[in-house]
Structure 1
Amino acid sequence: MEPRLIVAALAILLLTACTTAGSFCEVSAPIRPSTEDHLTEGTARQLLVHNQFGATTCGWRP
C-alpha cells in the first residue's frame, strides 16, 4: 500500500472521529511507545501522523 494512501486514510479516520465520537481532543491522547516496543516502519509512521495531528489540533506537547 502506498504511504500517501495510508496517511490519507488515517487523516480521514481522525477527521471522522471528530464528528462521530465528540471532539478528537477529548477522546484521544498522544501515543508514546516505550523503549521496549519494536515498531515497524508503518506503525511508526501512523504514530507520527496521529501525534502530529494532535499537536496541531489539540496543542499536544512532547
Structure 2
Amino acid sequence: MLYWVPRLVVSALVLLVLGMDLFPRTPEEVACTLLIIVGGLGLLSATLHLFPSEQH
C-alpha cells in the first residue's frame, strides 16, 4: 500500500493544478512548484528504498 502513496499524491497534485488553473505565473510560484516536485520525488525515492518493488 505504501508503495503507491507517492504516486497517488503526485497524481492528486497534478489534477489539482490542472483542475483549478494553478499554473505558476511568477518566479516565486515557479520556485515553490519546483520545491514541491523535488519533495515528491524525494518521497517517492524514500518509499522505493524502504519498500522495494517485488522481483519477478
- TM-score, normalising length from structure 1? 0.36
Which has the greater radius of gyration?
2
Structure number with higher relative contact order (C-alpha < 8 Å, ≥ 6 residues apart): 2
More helix by share: 2
